[in-house]
Amino acid sequence: MYCNILGGTFDLTIGYYYEELACIECNLDAHTRRGTLRMVKNFIPTSTQELVDHIKEHEEVGHKVPAYLVEDLFRDDTTNFPKA
């Protein structure tokens, strides 16, 4: 688990959902400027860069994201996405 929304420190959970790295129970759509509320769902990226871009969207709507997260994701890139 890279970060967890439980405990109230961060506004997103990045970890493994079954065997895939994901933004678990992502609530981003509920906070975007699109004006539509959508159900909470898992965001399962296909690459580290796609996940980093997703995390930036969280930051843009004011979500608290750990400072170490992006660096740790790129450090573990070949482990998290061995086929990418």
Measure CA of the first residue to CA of the last residue in the chain; give whole Å: 20
- In this prediction, residue 28 carries a pLDDT of 77
- In this prediction, residue 31 carries a pLDDT of 58
What does each of the 84 residues of the chain score in pLDDT, given as a tens digit? 788 876 678 888 999 998 899 999 887 766 555 544 455 688 999 999 999 999 999 998 888 899 999 999 999 999 999 875
- In this prediction, residue 44 carries a pLDDT of 92
Domain ranges within the chain, ordered by starting residue:
14-80
- In this prediction, residue 30 carries a pLDDT of 62
One DSSP character per residue, 48-76 reads HHHHHHHHHHHHHTT----TTHHHHHHHT
